[in-house]
Amino acid sequence: MTPRRKSRQLRVGSVAVGGDAPISVQSMCTTKTADVDGTLAQVYALKGAGADIVRITCNDVEAAQGLAEMMPRMPVPIIADIHFQYRLALAALEAGVQGLRLNPGNIRDPEHIKTVAREAKDRGVPIRVGVNAGSLDKDLLKKHGSAVPEALVESAEKEIRYLEEVDFFDIKISVKHSSVPAMVDAYRLLAERVPYPLHLGVTEAGPPPGGLIKSVAGISTLLLEGIGDTIRFSLTADPIEEAKAGRQLLEYLGLRERKGLDLIACPSCGRAEVDVIRVANEAQKALEAESIPIQVAVMGCVVNGPGEAREADLGIAAGRGRGHLFVKGKVVRVVPEAQMVEALVEEAKRLVEEGIDARLAAADQDAEAIAQAAREELLEIQGDANRVEIKRRAVAEVAAPSE
């Protein structure tokens, strides 16, 4: 992974963004902001799903009043999403939000932008310059012919100049596009030109699974290049799915500490002794219900399963009518097939409570011997799919010196 790009750090309420701060996860409420109870409930649900920051629309006076009522009860920092009416940005600041998102494509008057910046500066509130390919300034569209990466970056730089002219520097920027290659190119170009933290996202990604695939493709490409300080999956779905996906992506990339389950499973094949898809789905549902933050493997056969998944904290592999429960690749228990998921959940809970070393020490003494016998039995019945011994002999013959 490329070292992370150095950027200025700012704070959205209690959450640091940029610099060496952890990459944060964002999502956006789908409720009407004037619905105070409904919006609060969704924000709390988003926090529970992994969101560090939540954006809420402020599109009319009633929405601003709703923000003012709910802000004292918010569990995470709130960013007000502003379009067209700069005075609603001022109202959102008065309501107590910790961040603003301004779209350069629809707030056009430089003096309006500067007025908002001055007020935000006085209150210590950062502004995201949120460029979107779908609402790009018409003059830039005419100049560039379409929403190409250069047009998005030029729009962002133009807005930044307005903010900097009033000595406002608590800025983060997004240049979102619905095309993954265009989005990636825009952020790469922007990262070379500005010192500010970047908010990553593929806009209008659509519903899962396509929206998830596009978002992962764009966001992870940039994160692996060291670009990006905060992210949002823009899905046509329950925003809870956005927060979960964002959090999982950061955990899978090793950019945030694991707080949720990471379940890995073999894709199944003709050697599998159980319905791997069914067992994996049942295990995932049961383990997620327990909020167990470990890596768990579900493998279809005992011949290769424990070895292939030896890096997992915990796993289970199917034998003939039995499941072989293993910790860090070592079989610790053999259980009836019907109890595989139940045993997996029980062991996972003990692993979290007692630790890996303790669970290895508590292994059934005859578990490994039973597992080895089962492996040999399956090899006798099914044969060695990997033809290991034949390959070893062939390699040895090639490597041997000629006479």
Give the length of the chain: 403
Whole-angstrom distance, CA of residue 371 vs CA of residue 361: 17
**Looking at 167-307, which runs of residues are DSSP E strands?**
171-176, 199-200, 230-232, 262-265, 295-299
Please state, for a pLDDT cut of 90, what percent of the chain lies above it: 77
Whole-angstrom distance, CA of residue 133 vs CA of residue 218: 15
Three-state DSSP at 35 gives: coil
User: What pLDDT does 320 receive?
Assistant: 77
User: What pLDDT does 398 receive?
Assistant: 83
Give 47-69 as a DSSP string.
HHHT-SEEEEE--SHHHHHHHHH
Please state, for a pLDDT cut of 70, what percent of the chain lies above it: 96
Q: Where are the domains of the chain?
A: 10-252, 262-382
Tens digit of pLDDT for each residue in 346-388?
A: 999 999 999 999 999 999 999 888 888 877 777 776 655 555 5
With beta carbons less than 8 A apart as the criterion, state whether 222 and 32 touch: no
Which residues, including other chains, have CB under 8 Å from residue 68's CB and lie 6 or more apart? 94, 95, 96
Q: Is the pLDDT of residue 269 over 90?
A: no
Tell whether omega for the bond before 209 is within 30 degrees of 0, i.e. cis: yes
User: What pLDDT does 259 receive?
Assistant: 87
Which CATH code is given to the segment(s) 262-382?
3.30.413.10
Which CATH code is given to the segment(s) 10-252?
3.20.20.20
User: What pLDDT does 41 receive?
Assistant: 97
User: What pLDDT does 105 receive?
Assistant: 86
- At residue 318's C-alpha, the angle toward residues 314 and 322, to 5°, is 105
Tens digit of pLDDT for each residue in 293-330?
A: 999 999 887 776 777 778 899 999 887 788 899 999 89
User: What pLDDT does 387 receive?
Assistant: 56
Whole-angstrom distance, CA of residue 118 vs CA of residue 116: 6
Three-state DSSP at 377 gives: helix
Same fold yes or no, 10-252 and 262-382: no
With beta carbons less than 8 A apart as the criterion, state whether 158 and 198 touch: no
User: What pLDDT does 25 receive?
Assistant: 98
